[in-house]
Chain A
Amino acid sequence: MPLSDVNRLDISFTLLTQSGHQLKLSLLIFGIVPFFVTSLLSVIDHIHAQEFELCTTLRMNRWKTLWEVIIVGRLDQVFEVMRQNFAIAWLMITSVEGLSMSEGGLGVMLIKANKYVQLDVVFGTLVIIFILGILFDYLLGLLRHWLFPYTKLTVRR
């Protein structure tokens, strides 16, 4: 979003929140929640009814079914949703950080450099943001494979 809009948001959010740190956090959360919830709902929506029927015929009660199918069974996908949301949050962080300059951070560096037309610093910061983003994503991907070895195996139906 354009900086002027962010500034307007800034005013209303500072009314709601006390410190700059809290402001950053709440903006991030407000930005992420819609993505997170819709992705999670889609994960649950894609569970095949037959999986619940299998639980029924295996005489599992409601709680055990919920646990097995929705919690344990979808943990890897929830993790993947979190990884994607992290990417969105990472993009947002630069603009959100700009709102509370005193806190510092990559976003602040970027905005300051931009203001004083230090294009080399702007470019350097962008590269750092880019590389860190890729690195985090890669590490989360590795973690996912380590935690959920079955994750990339899909069953042919």
Chain B
Amino acid sequence: MNAYTKHEVLLSAENVGLQYGGKVVLRDVNFTIRDIRRQGINQGQVVSLIGRSGIGKTQLFRILSGLRRPNTGQVKMDEDQHVVQPGEVGIVPQNYILFNHRTIYQNLKIGLDSAGGQLTEAHKRKTIEECAAAFELSEHLKKYPAQLSGGQRQRVSIIQQVLTGNKFILLDEPFSGLDVLMVDRVMQLLLKISTLNEHNTLIIVSHDIENAAAISDMVWVLAPEAGKPGATIVKEYDLCEMELAWTPNIRENMRFVELLADIRRHL
């Protein structure tokens, strides 16, 4: 049922290292995200980098977005594998920052404007309204960010990044600070985005093993290695191969529960 094939490399981190003063935060981080294809569906990619607090996830997030240069190594993207530049990867930081002096509609429009394109104003309005309807934001378009709940602002932030036309979207701790219901909703939202386009790729950086793994097709564990400074990838789980990807009610699956326990051991 879940037949799939893996193809070209979409994004790769090569020997990424980061130091602050003499302190090594990240060391030799290597991973590759490949295009996954499935029959009859635009199957995008959802990957997670999991690690405990303070391990360097947010720093890695900044490096992957191109906002920060690593001290060693590089992050490359697309078929030509060029070094990632700021603006090529969408970001949803932990506190979902928006322009507070703009309405939700205007915030989304700024995202769409940066997609360039020769869309007319009327066409842009239509696109935003359709998008808002699809992601349950229609009633909030005229409000300001401060009038929305945290979860709603997060949705706006995610959709703003989708509208910029970026295929890659990085999310820092997307499940923290949300109640159980909102966590489910953001997971639905992310899954929906991941199937909008064949190349859409969501990169989740989180300490929340269960929620991150539940929607991912790849999981990498960031942790320190015995006797060496800094965090690196200590374990890789291919959830497609384990037949744990794209499965509803995955949490009730015993093998998924075992997977979580295994990830926890490596943290």
Distance, CA A134 to CA B5, complexed state (A): 72
Distance, CA A56 to CA B161, complexed state (A): 12
Q: Let me know if B114 and A73 touch, CB within 8 A.
A: no
Q: Let me know if A50 and B144 touch, CB within 8 A.
A: no
Q: Let me know if A150 and B144 touch, CB within 8 A.
A: yes
Distance, CA A76 to CA B147, complexed state (A): 17
Contacts of B160 in A (CB 8 A): 58
Distance, CA A56 to CA B100, complexed state (A): 17
Q: Let me know if B100 and A57 touch, CB within 8 A.
A: no
Of all chain B residues, the one with the shortest Cβ separation from A150 is B144
Q: Let me know if A50 and B100 touch, CB within 8 A.
A: no
Contacts of A135 in B (CB 8 A): none
Q: Let me know if A58 and B100 touch, CB within 8 A.
A: no
Interface assignment of B97: CB less than 8 Å from any CB of chain A: yes
Contacts of B67 in A (CB 8 A): 53, 56-57
Q: Report which residue of A54, A73, A75, A149 has the largest number of chain B beta carbons within 10 angstroms of its beta carbon.
A: A54
Given A56-B86, A57-B86, are A150 and B100 neighbors across the interface (CB < 8 Å)? yes
Partner of A57, one of B90, B101, B146, B147: B90
Q: Let me know if A153 and B86 touch, CB within 8 A.
A: no
- The contact string, 1 if C-beta is below 8 Å from chain B, for chain A 127-157, is 0000000000000000000001110011111
Interface assignment of A48: CB less than 8 Å from any CB of chain B: yes
Interface assignment of B111: CB less than 8 Å from any CB of chain A: yes
Q: Let me know if B93 and A50 touch, CB within 8 A.
A: yes
Of all chain A residues, the one with the shortest Cβ separation from B65 is A57
Q: Let me know if B95 and A57 touch, CB within 8 A.
A: no
Of all chain B residues, the one with the shortest Cβ separation from A54 is B97
- The contact string, 1 if C-beta is below 8 Å from chain A, for chain B 73-103, is 0000000000000110111010101111100
Distance, CA A18 to CA B91, complexed state (A): 59
Q: Let me know if B114 and A50 touch, CB within 8 A.
A: no
Q: Let me know if B97 and A50 touch, CB within 8 A.
A: yes
* B139 CB → nearest A CB, Å: 17
Given A53-B67, A59-B87, are A48 and B97 neighbors across the interface (CB < 8 Å)? yes
Q: 8 Å CB contacts to A: which residues of B94-131?
A: 95, 97-101, 110-111, 114
Of all chain B residues, the one with the shortest Cβ separation from A72 is B101
Q: Let me know if A73 and B87 touch, CB within 8 A.
A: no
Contacts of A68 in B (CB 8 A): 99, 110
Q: Let me know if B147 and A58 touch, CB within 8 A.
A: no
Of all chain B residues, the one with the shortest Cβ separation from A60 is B114
Q: Let me know if A56 and B146 touch, CB within 8 A.
A: no
Given A56-B67, A57-B89, A59-B87, are A155 and B145 neighbors across the interface (CB < 8 Å)? yes
* A67 CB → nearest B CB, Å: 12
Pick the 4 closest A-B CB pairs, nearest first: A153-B146, A59-B87, A150-B144, A59-B114
What are 26 residue pairs bridging A and B, where the CB atoms are less than 8 Å apart in the complex?
A50-B93, A50-B97, A51-B97, A53-B67, A54-B91, A54-B97, A57-B65, A57-B86, A57-B87, A57-B90, A57-B164, A58-B160, A58-B164, A59-B87, A60-B110, A68-B99, A68-B110, A73-B101, A76-B101, A148-B101, A150-B146, A153-B100, A153-B144, A153-B146, A155-B100, A155-B153
